[in-house]
Amino acid sequence: MSDLVGQARAAMRHAWAPYSNFHVGAAIEANDGKVYVGCNVESASYGLTICAERMALGAAVVGGARKLKRIVVTTEVDPPAAPCGACRQLLAEFGMDLEVIAVGPATERRWTLAALLPDAFTKESLDR
């Protein structure tokens, strides 16, 4: 797990956050053990900002990952921030049993995605 934290922190150092100055890094471990990273990238048009979690998820998908084991999200605040609602919803595409670990400078928090996103809108919601 410490390797995932290290990779997420390394990604966080590359974040582009000139507006919020809130740097975030993410590392996703797929079931096959491969790791994919991302950092947040802000835009002056705030709605176009990309979260670290979604960037890492995009890298995982491009890398062929379809089953995810865990995601580590690093921030510079304690308690560390959990993924935003949009990230939670996109992560739900890959399983509600995903382990979510938020790490700050001195503390850590852990959840399953199901705990962070109860009653998620999933493909089963579309089945009629």
Kindly list the catalytic residues: 53
Q: Which residues pair with 52 in a beta bridge?
A: none
Q: Which residues pair with 101 in a beta bridge?
A: 72, 110
Which of 99, 90, 92, 104 has its CA nearest to residue 71?
99
Other CB atoms within 10 A of residue 104 CB: 16
Token pair for 31: 């079931």
Other CB atoms within 10 A of residue 78 CB: 13
Which of 62, 80, 117 has its CA nearest to residue 95?
117
Taking the CA atoms of the chain, what radius of gyration do you get in angstroms? Answer: 14
